[in-house]
Amino acid sequence: MTILGIIPARFASTRFPGKPLVDIAGKSMIRRVYEQAKKCSSIAEVVVATDDERIYEHVLGFGGKVVMTSDEHQSGTDRCAEVALKHPEYDVIINIQGDEPYIDPEQLTKVAACFTDETTQIATLIKKINTADELLNVNSPKVIINRFAEAIYFSRSPLPHIRGQEQADWLKHYTYFKHIGVYAYRSDILQEITKLPISSLEKAESLEQLRWIENGYRIKVAETELETHAIDTPEDLKKLPV
């Protein structure tokens, strides 16, 4: 099984324009993500996928691999699919978030390991929720899983609802998980899901992965205890570990 890691990166961002090129302790965000991904021994090759010349030239400048993609893609998944189509020699594609500068290679290894099961179509990571703030944060999607370690629903709301208990006490009665946004897909499945129309659940929650579940695709999950530090706004830079 050969795995290709793809880091989608675009310059335009409503909340943080130019985010991939922002300096973090002497290195750009995209460089930090790239170098962390390269440490994962499960991944045969890592490439940045962008539609911006500035990002393209920057990645070349630090010795990274990069490809130009269409500027019409609506998501990182679509950008990954374009690159994967040109590289049929890879069995699995890992979509590595370009805004997590300190992503741990162990997390990528965990999601890659899901594909030792030949029935795995798509895989992602989950982490146990330990605080009420995390549980109620609408920007941190929650995941409901079945006994086969598959995601059966993602929501911005805290699900399931614990009947008869105060919301502040829900963590005492159920193990909740949040979604860690790294995805991996078998190459053929990736091409299939990018052809699906936007679904009703996806529209409701604004979560792309619900489109796949609503169309019958299975998402394997692996649990991690490692936290991620995604950068959505300039203010998030202040929260990064020193």
Looking at the structure of the chain, the number of domains it has is 1
State the pLDDT confidence band at 238, using cuts at 50, 70 and 90.
low
Give the pLDDT mean for 198-213: 97
Q: What is the CATH number of the domain that holds 31?
A: 3.90.550.10
Place of tokens 């208990």: 165
Q: For the whole model, what pTM was predicted?
A: 0.93
Is 58 in contact with 51 (CB distance < 8 Å)?
no
Give the pLDDT mean for 13-38: 89
Residue 70 CA to chain centroid, in angstroms?
A: 20
State the pLDDT confidence band at 14, using cuts at 50, 70 and 90.
low
Classified as helix, coil or strand, 6 is strand
pLDDT in tens, 162-195: 999 999 999 999 999 999 989 999 999 999 999 9
Place of tokens 């570990």: 241
- The residue among 215, 28, 21, 220 whose CA lies nearest residue 124 is 220
Average predicted confidence (pLDDT) for the chain: 93
Domain that holds residue 162: 3-239
State the pLDDT confidence band at 94, using cuts at 50, 70 and 90.
very high
Give the pLDDT mean for 77-106: 95
What's the 3-state SS for 206-224?
A: CCCHHHHHHCCCCEEEEEC
Residue 21, pLDDT score? 93
Residue 200, pLDDT score? 97
* Angle at 211 (CA atoms; ends 209, 216), nearest 5 degrees: 100
State the pLDDT confidence band at 18, using cuts at 50, 70 and 90.
confident
Rounded Cα–Cα distance for residues 167 and 210 (Å) = 25
46 DSSP β-pair partners: 5
pLDDT at 233 over 70: no
Give the pLDDT mean for 26-39: 96
Instruction: Label the pairing between strands 219-223 and 122-128.
Output: parallel
State the pLDDT confidence band at 227, using cuts at 50, 70 and 90.
confident
124 DSSP β-pair partners: 183, 221
Burial class (CB in 10 A: 0-12, 13-18, 19+), 38: middle
